[in-house]
């Protein structure tokens, strides 16, 4: 069985059931961001999806370790465990924010270089900077998860893996449903008759 740390890392980047920013806007992802899941520094760990009754706020579902989260209740976290995990998150949060800001700035610079048709050497150098920033951010997140993991008992860890697998299944189903709705919407849009070709009241074709 893969380690909990390796299984949790992808979830750090997919914390809610909302579409990524580029999908919400209806436009394509920028070249430097294609294929990347959405980032969220605020929660640091997977929160329960809405269908599990998560307390959603302006920044998404409640972080999994906090008292109002169904994850916390199902795991039976004690106040001591909750406080310990919260402290780990708050201690790491400034560094996560700093690294995330660095990554965004470097991605924006890369986008500008690509749009300006800069030299391949300049683009290549900037890609290295982007990936370096991404690697540091991922490493910091993963180490935070390792430390959070140590706050749980073996029984809680096993239950967490089960709950997390269920959460990922719900995410996948929600994503498939979203994609189906989008396809249906596009198909309906394509099938709408052109009002210019509709017959007028006397049965004559429209002008």
pTM: 0.59
Q: Is 16 helix (H, G, I), strand (E, B) or coil?
A: coil
Judge contact between 128 and 120, C-beta under 8 A: no
Handedness of CA 189, 190, 196, 199 (dihedral sign): negative
Phi, then psi, of 57 in degrees rounded to 5: -130, -165
pLDDT for position 8: 40
CB under 8 Å to 30, separation ≥6 — which residues? 22, 107, 111
Q: Is residue 161 pLDDT above 70, yes or no? A: yes
Give the rounded percent of residues in the chain with a pLDDT score beyond 90.
43
CA atoms of 110 and 32, how far apart (whole Å): 7
Distance, first Cα to last Cα, the chain: 68
pLDDT band at residue 193 using 50, 70 and 90 as cut-offs: low
CATH architecture, range 60-70+77-153: Up-down Bundle (1.20)
Q: Per residue, what are the HEC states of 93-155? A: HHHHHHHHHHHHHHHHHHHHHHHCCCCHHHHHHHHHHHHHHHHHHHHHHHHHHHHHHCCCCHH
Domain boundaries, the chain: 60-70+77-153
Phi, then psi, of 60 in degrees rounded to 5: 110, -170
Section 148-153 average pLDDT: 94
For 33-52, the pLDDT digits (tens) are 544 444 544 444 444 443 34
Judge contact between 169 and 109, C-beta under 8 A: no
pLDDT for position 103: 97
């Amino acid at each position: 069985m893969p380690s909990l740390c390796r299984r949790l890392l992808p979830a750090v980047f997919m914390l809610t059931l909302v579409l990524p920013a580029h999908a919400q806007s209806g436009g394509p992802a920028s070249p430097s961001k294609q294929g990347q899941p959405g980032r969220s520094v605020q929660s640091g760990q997977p929160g329960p999806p809405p269908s599990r009754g998560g307390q959603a706020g302006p920044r998404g579902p409640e972080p999994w370790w906090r008292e109002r989260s169904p994850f916390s209740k199902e795991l039976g976290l004690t106040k001591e465990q909750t406080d310990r995990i919260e402290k780990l998150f708050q201690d790491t949060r400034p560094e996560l924010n700093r690294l995330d800001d660095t990554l965004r700035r470097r991605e924006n610079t890369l986008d500008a270089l690509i749009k300006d048709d800069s030299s391949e050497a300049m683009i290549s150098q900037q890609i290295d900077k982007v990936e370096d920033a991404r690697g540091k951010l991922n490493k910091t997140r993963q180490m935070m998860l390792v430390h959070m993991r140590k706050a749980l008992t073996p029984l809680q860890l096993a239950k967490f893996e089960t709950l997390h697998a269920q959460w990922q299944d719900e995410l996948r189903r929600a994503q498939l449903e979203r994609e189906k709705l989008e396809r249906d919407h596009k198909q309906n849009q394509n099938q709408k008759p052109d009002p210019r070709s509709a017959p007028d009241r006397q049965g004559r074709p429209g002008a």
